[in-house]
Amino acid sequence: MELGYMIIFWYGILHAFGPDHLTAIADFSIGKSMKKTMTITIAFAFGHGMTLFIFAKLLELYNLPENVTAYGDLISSIVIIGMGIYLLYMVLTDKVHLNKHMHEGKEHIHIYFGKEHSHNATVASTSAWTMGALMGIGGVRGMLVTLGMLNGHSIEFSMVLAFIAGVSLVFVSFGGVILYLNKELLTNKTNVRKVFVTAGLVSVAVGTNMLLA
């Protein structure tokens, strides 16, 4: 069974490289600190994995027609488009703010939405978990195909942990790239607006392409 876990782990890596997943991680991680970015990526991965586990269990018990499971892809697309529209709306209504201040002699930059900056990472991680869970529905069919390679083994939670480990490896690595961009690019409000507009447009484009595919 060790080979089975490796297969699922590898599927998690390949699954995470989907443009919709990387777009979602970028949308959540832009302008965040290292701690928040890592928390968000892990929360997204766990939300994603838990939804896959639950729906894969349901499909293991009930043979649903493909047109029903296809709704998962529709939900994933709508989530991505919604995130993009939200980012564009926040920029167009001038609700994306950049705040510079000093901590122990070092300059810190915080980027936030709305009227007040908050250090509370709970809301962001909860949102990431929820988005990951919603988008997880779209990956159920691929997960079942991968599990079908394991000679009829029942879906166990340990398999989901192997999947989450694979997804997290990619998400955390990509989060590191976003952290670098945050540090190098997001140093003034003009750049912040440009980056968020770009992220919003990419999200809408990726989600629309998923709908039309």
Neighbours of 151 (CB within 10 A): 8
Residue 132, phi-psi category: left (phi > 0), alpha (psi -120 to 50), beta (remainder): alpha
pLDDT score for 70: 64
pLDDT score for 69: 60
Expressed in angstroms, the distance from the first to the final Cα of the chain is 35
pLDDT score for 198: 92
Residue type, 140: V
How high is the mean pLDDT in each 10-residue block of the chain (213 residues)?
A: 76 82 81 79 84 73 64 78 90 82 61 59 72 72 56 67 85 84 80 88 90 79
pLDDT score for 88: 93
pLDDT score for 5: 79
How many whole angstroms separate alpha carbon 112 and alpha carbon 82?
A: 19
What sign has the CA pseudo-torsion 40, 41, 47, 48?
Answer: positive
| The two structure tokens encoding residue 146 | 């991968």
pTM of this prediction exceeds 0.85: no
